Amino acid sequence: MITSTRPRVGYLASTFAALALAASSASYAAEDLKIGMILPMTGPFASYGQQILNGVHLYLSEHGDTVEGRKVQLIIKDDTGVAPEISKRAAQELIVKDKAEILAGFGVTPSAFAVAPLSAQAKIPMVVMNAATSSVTEKSPYVVRTSMSMPQTSAPMATWAAKEGITKVYTLVADYGPGHDAEKQFVKTFTEAGGEIVGEVRVPLQNPDYAPFLQRIKDSKPNAVFLFVPAGEQSVAFLKGFEQRGLRDMGVKIISTGDLTDEDVLDATGETAIGAITSFHYSEAHDSTKNKAYTEAYYKAYPSKRPNFLSVAGYDGMHLIYSALKKTGGDASGDKFISAAKGMEWESPRGPISIDPETRDIVQNIYIRKVEKVGGKLQNVEIDLIPNFKDPSK
Ligand code: PHB
């Protein structure tokens, strides 16, 4: 069963006592297991919610909606994107009123930051399916992440760039947690490898006007621009501006985390993305039996969308939940669930992955990819691989 509501504004009951009582009164035997999903379902990040849910539903359709005799009930709360107060209220409602035993989703970092203290207080597992700021996993001992962290995806790009003879880089990042993490890690790894940073700029998270930044980048004549912008429409705006201002013709390379060339927007970039080099953990074009089955099943279920990193994080997040519950005999209480999740290993459509028992963060291959046309369709074609890579900032 799926219910979907926006959290009631003005909802109270945020006290430690209410949260602790809600958690302790949960008795699991034979009861439905309620998973509270906090996701942007409307607003500029709505495609994140949709993609994560597509992955979650695909997993349920393949594995059934019952685990250890408990029927899984998803309760979906729309937090509208970067709106920490709404995310927090949604979590309060889910824990206190709906008696959700697991929280999951979290499209953006501010949403995960807002909810983590409640997960810690109520001792409720929090399965993070996107929010990628490194410290998200440190905000509650009950957080486990199935997506990525920004230092994890940024460091390999710096190593690769230095190895390829790129010496001067300008960095451009969205001005919030993930962007700061990407910038910090890229600059560290790249300068340690002998590279030079010729300029750094942070752009507003929402609706940035890239024109003045692109002009500054052009004037400083770098070999490449490294960037992190949240996946979505901004990629299209950046890539179009990059081309229109003549940076591509000047021979400036684009090196970026794979958020820029997410399959969800790749078609909309037209040819402007061709040649962009990115580092990331998931490509629709990843060549494995598991990914072939995943992408085929995805297109069958959602013919008008392309499978992307968000859908895979949702799919793997459900795998983690099911596998942990199988180990605990259906007990979702925080300590048991998290100790079952620690050290778990499985094969994802992205490749082999595991949960680091010390950090509860994901360990995975990071691929260097190049955007190319494959069979008439833009794809992130993998050209190099850094195996079993952990967040290097932890
Ligand atoms: C985040 O807010 O943590 C975030 C959002 C979009 C991305 C990556 C990270 O593409």
Task: Compute the mean pLDDT over every residue in the chain, rounded to the nearest whole number.
Answer: 94
- Asked if residue 9 and residue 134 are part of one domain, the reply reads yes
Q: Is 118 in the pocket of ligand 1 (CB under 6 A)?
A: no
* Structural domain for 253, as ranges: 150-280+367-389
Question: Is the confidence at residue 10, as pLDDT, over 60?
Answer: no
Residue 183 lies in a domain: yes
Question: pLDDT tens digit string along 227-250?
Answer: 999 999 999 999 999 999 999 999
> Is any ligand 1 atom within 6 A of the Cβ of residue 132?
yes
Does 51 share its domain with 177? no
Q: 52-108, pLDDT tens digit by residue?
A: 999 999 999 999 999 999 999 999 999 999 999 999 999 999 999 999 999 999 999
Give 312 or 15, the one with higher predicted confidence.
312
Percent share of the chain, pLDDT over 70: 93
Average pLDDT score over residue span 19-24? 52
Q: Ligand 1 atom closest to Cα of 132?
A: 3
Say whether both 86 and 29 belong to one domain: yes
Share of the chain above pLDDT 90, in %: 91
Ligand 1 atom with the shortest distance to the CA of 111:
2
If one counts the domains in the chain, the total is: 2
- CATH code where residue 96 lies: 3.40.50.2300
Does residue 297 share a domain with residue 253? no
Per-residue confidence (pLDDT) for residue 19, from 0 to 100: 58
For residue 285, is it within any domain?
A: no
Kindly state whether residues 256 and 336 are assigned to the same domain: no
Residue 108 CB less than 6 A away from ligand 1: yes
Q: Is 231 in the pocket of ligand 1 (CB under 6 A)?
A: yes
**Phi, psi of 11, rounded to the nearest 5 degrees:** -70, 135
C-beta of 277 in contact with ligand 1 (< 6 A): no
- CB of 230 closer than 6 A to ligand 1? yes
Q: Which of 109, 152, 185 best tests ligand 1's pocket when mutated (most atoms within 8 Å of CB)?
A: 109
pLDDT score for 28 = 56
Phi-psi region of 125 (alpha: psi -120 to 50; beta: other; left: phi over 0): beta
Q: Is the residue at 64 inside a domain?
A: yes
DSSP 301-347: H-TTS---HHHHHHHHHHHHHHHHHHHHTS---HHHHHHHHTT-EEE
Q: Is residue 74 part of a domain?
A: yes
- Has residue 394 been placed in a domain? no
| Most distant CA atoms of the chain, gap in Å | 65
Of 161, 74, 145, 155, residue with least CA distance to 106? 145
Contact (CB, 8 A) for 159 and 196: no
Q: Per-residue pLDDT averaged across 375-381, rounded?
A: 97
Do 207 and 353 fall into the same domain? no
At residue 206 the predicted structure's pLDDT band, cuts being 50, 70 and 90, is confident
> Do 123 and 91 belong to one domain?
yes
